[in-house]
Amino acid sequence: MSDSELLELQMQGKDWRALDKALVTFFREQQKLEPALALLIGQCSFALAQGHLCLPLKSMSQHSQQEWLALMALYPDLFELSENRNQPFVYANNALYMRRYFGYQQQIALYLQQSSQRSQQLRQAIDPALLKNLLDPLFPVSATKSADPDWQRLSCAIAASSSFSVITGGPGTGKTTTVVKLLLVLQQLQQQQGATPLTIQLAAPTGKAAVRLRSSIRTTLDKLPASAEMKSQVPTDVSTLHKLLGARAQSRQFKQNAFEPLALDLLVVDEASMLDVELMAALLSALPAHARLILLGDKDQLASVEAGALMAELCQWAEQGHYLAETAAWLNQLSAAAIPADLISDTGKALEQQIGMLRVSHRFDPQSGIAKLANAVNAGHSAEVAAICRADYADLQYLEATDFKHLKQFVLTGKAKEEQKEAAGFSFYLNTVRQSPSLEAEDQVIDLWAQQVLADFSAFQLLCAVRQGPMGVEQVNLSVEKMLHQAGLIQHSSHWYAGRPVMVTQNDYALGLMNGDVGICLLRPYQGKWMLAVAFASEDSSKAVRWVLPSRLQQVETAYAITVHKSQGSEFRHAVLVLPDNFSPVLSRELIYTGITRAAKLFSLICAKPDLLTQAVERKVQRYGAIRLDS
């Protein structure tokens, strides 16, 4: 097929977005492009929609790499091959980039390189004996000495001696606990050096992740052996990244930038797997030159919806450690157990010395169904996954269903089997909705009730892989709404009704609500009358909830079921993953793993066709345009 025919096929087809087609049309009119180059530009734009930062030329097999380079050389104002004249497309690393995303990648790579140099200097300046004395009370050595190191302790030491660091680990491995102890250690170091306390900020990509981190930090801080004065120097308020940076409506720019940097000495970002390269670049621009940055997250979770897979790239060798001998020797001074020899490598990169991986889950028993299933999925062992799903584990439920409409009892109670103790359905939170305060109740009583409704709603959540189709978000939400209405648990004679859960689908800077925030519509007492209002969890620690009138919420959708992507940063007592009845490109190992690890006590999998689960587990996402780790 000729270039012209291929181009026409894409312009008339459904693969390319309207944006991709518009870009091709614009440059063809402006530059009189060869059909082959128009096809190249369209595919480069389309690659961004697939999460890639660039388009490898090897993926465009119509021409050899040399032929592509020769074609691009005919348009020096459009393609940068060597001389940088701010052309819209850049050829580098045997791939084609859009200028903006090439700039993001270069900015991040430069920061990582510089941070490695600063971290080496910082580590040399820290007295290991002093650091060990600060670590000992927070990470006491077990009476029965283990042959394995305390990875929370060592990750804390790595971060304490780095200007940039990453702490990664699966659910329940203690990322929050580790970072709270780290902040105490750093503030104590400041005190012992006669310096002023660090100005620390905590942030997360979404509002619900911010609220969850805030709660975890407070709970952890209360249990630690430190003075009240020292604990007061560890912040408990958590902001969304967009709020921290000062997002501007209808703009990609932020108020905080290189010219107006953030007023802080240290920034901790939780759920960093959700960070895309554009947001990361904006964050680095606003970071003061002296400030430290710590990323927390699970490297195996789904990457951002936007382009890039930052966490996965940063932690691509975390399992293997790749610690240099001098790094291991330095850490061994702080540990009761030596770094295992198989985690030491003479080929380790500088950046890998700044990454700590937590390797023991305290949430799940290693022999539990959830732990075994998550590990098998992560390893890509599809046959083992199938066997675990069908085994009799108390914390796992596997249902083969071809139509969600037949799952009414499951939606109400969450139980596939009567003996499932941890099961919760939607009736759990709806019972709390019905226990509304009286018309005369004080505002504080009303707010605490609404806060309890939100907490109870997180007991049970349906997660879908796709939006359309019989087992997609849109149809499942309609089915659940009908089931709950028939059971007399909701009255939805209108669009808004008491008990309706909604998710914000677009940032609303006027209301301070971000994409992914979840609220519950409630019939609340107000000045002696009943009125509908939507309760959202409050980022403000002085308030239990925040109320918004339904009329002000223009970009929301019903949220009995949400996509797995939207669930990141959340934890549910009982999480239910609903797979589609046909294969979808979104099905992947990362999606299944993320769905499983949203569950705290019970995980249910609804899968009409077992072979789809096999395909998903065997399919690992690979995004082009890696942040280079050769610094």
**Which residues line the annotated binding site for ATP?**
169-176
> How far is Cα 546 from Cα 534, in angstroms, rounded to an integer?
8
Asked if 560 and 477 touch (Cβ cutoff 8 Å), the reply is yes
Which residues make beta-bridge pairs with 530?
A: 525
Contact 536, 517 (CB under 8 A): yes
Per the CB < 8 A criterion, the answer to whether 569 and 535 are in contact is no
Beta strands at 572-578 and 460-464: parallel, antiparallel or unpaired: parallel
Q: Please give the DSSP secondary-structure letter assigned to residue 38.
A: H
Three-state secondary structure string covering 160-192: HCCCEEEEEECCCCCHHHHHHHHHHHHHHHHHH
Residues 125 and 189: their CA atoms lie apart, in Å, by 12
Closest by CA position to 389, among listed 609, 619, 170: 609
Contact between residue 261 and residue 223 where contact means Cβ atoms under 8 Å apart: no
Which 3 state secondary structure label does DSSP give 103? helix
Under 8 Å between Cβ of 334 and 128: yes
Instruction: For residue 90, give the 3-state DSSP assignment.
Output: strand
Question: Are 504 and 516 contacting, i.e. CB atoms less than 8 angstroms apart?
Answer: yes
In sequence order, what are the beta bridge partners of 547?
Answer: 535
Closest CA to 210 of 484, 610, 517: 517
421 in Cβ contact with 573 (< 8 Å): no
Amino acid letter for position 47: A
Q: Which residues have CB under 8 Å from 571's CB, separation 6+?
A: 171, 212, 458, 598, 599, 600
b/e burial code for range 606-617 (CB count within 10 A of at least 16 → b): bbbebebbeebb
Q: At what angle do helices 128-138 and 151-160 cross, to 10 degrees?
A: 140
Binding site, residues? 169-176
Q: Return all residues near 551 (Cβ < 8 A) that are at least 6 apart.
A: none
Q: What is the DSSP letter of 141?
A: P
d(CA 274, CA 309): 9
Q: Is 99 exposed, middle or buried (0-12, 13-18, 19+ CB in 10 A)?
A: middle
- 568-597 residues labelled b (16+ CB within 10 A) or e (exposed): bbbbbbbbbbbbbbeebebbbbbbbbbbbb
